[in-house]
Amino acid sequence: MSGILLLEQSLNGLQFGLMLFLLAAGLTLVFGIMDMINLAHGSLYMVGAFLAATFVDLTGSFWLAVALALAGTALVGMALEVSVLRRLYARDHLSQVLATFALILVANETVRIVWGPQLPLAAPPALAGPVEIVPGLQYSSYRLVIIAVGLAVAAALYFAIARTRVGMLVRAGASNREMAVAMGVNIKRLFTIVFGCAAALCAVAGAMLGPILAVQVGMGENILILAFVVIVIGGIGSIRGALVGALLVGVVDTMGRAFLPHLLRQFLRADLAGALGPALASILIYVLMAAILFWKPQGLFPARG
């Protein structure tokens, strides 16, 4: 294993982990404050990516398209919360799972009708080429921008949660919703704001990952599973836990897929190692989750700990 390859895969893991954090942060707030399991969270990620692709065609500017997609997806999320999800808060988790799973099907078919099965979305031309980070390592400039955007959003989200009045209400709701209501918090408005912010974070992740992973119907389902793993590892309702969990999952998943097949080739035939390596790599994050939950059953940084 060369140091250059290790550094490259570490950057890939950091980039993937930060985008996972954008999804998991909104999901953990919705789950932690509203006590609601929202399987349709990945659909907002998909809507954000499709809106970004549409606005790129209309405006010709990738960054303007990302900003418009963020605003549009936030509005979609708030409208969804007011019209549908608000009626599910008093229901049990099974009802929430069934209802939000139905929303996934509705969202997928609606997107297919409006946009078709997929849309092209390319990175900005100025970021199409690689840059030399260290001698011998040419790394994608667009992936570096994704890392910078992820770090900036994480810092802004931390400031908003830790240093603003709205953030104080969010932390109060995550820790003890009944006490927050007793202290006069307008919980309905808080829920709508939180859901809109969660949808906006989904849009950022969808727009930034679209040029790498493709913008297509159903793109939110697989990454939603990883987002749930992240919030379970980090602790439900915890932004800090979502960040740490996302980075752990991103690095473990990336490193496993990059190096496990090579490691298996030392002991197995090349064809068997090539088939077995990716399968075992996909299991590593669940092994990680099981190990952390065995050590800390409520996650690393539970909001209600």
pLDDT one digit per residue (tens) for the chain, 305 residues: 577 878 888 888 898 898 889 888 888 878 777 778 888 888 999 999 999 999 999 998 899 999 999 999 999 999 998 888 888 887 888 888 899 999 999 999 999 999 988 888 888 888 877 888 877 778 888 889 989 998 998 888 888 887 888 777 777 766 666 777 777 777 778 888 888 988 999 999 999 998 888 889 988 888 888 888 898 898 877 788 889 999 999 888 888 888 877 787 777 777 777 777 777 878 888 888 999 999 888 888 876 54
User: Which residues make beta-bridge pairs with 216?
Assistant: 118
User: Does some domain include residue 195?
Assistant: yes
Per-residue confidence (pLDDT) for residue 175, from 0 to 100: 65
Asked if 45 and 23 touch (Cβ cutoff 8 Å), the reply is yes
As a whole number of angstroms, the distance between CA 86 and CA 113 comes to 26
User: Does some domain include residue 300?
Assistant: no
User: Does some domain include residue 76?
Assistant: yes
Instruction: Write the burial class of residue 1 (CB in 10 Å: 0-12 exposed, 13-18 middle, 19+ buried).
Output: exposed
User: How many domains are there within the chain?
Assistant: 1
Which amino acid would we find at residue 60? G
Question: Domain range holding 43?
Answer: 3-295
As a whole number of angstroms, the distance between CA 37 and CA 188 comes to 17
User: Does some domain include residue 46?
Assistant: yes
* Whole-prediction pTM: 0.87
Q: What is the CATH number of the domain that holds 41?
A: 1.10.3470
∠11-15-17 over CA atoms, to 5°?
A: 115
User: Does some domain include residue 303?
Assistant: no
User: Does some domain include residue 305?
Assistant: no
As a whole number of angstroms, the distance between CA 252 and CA 145 comes to 21
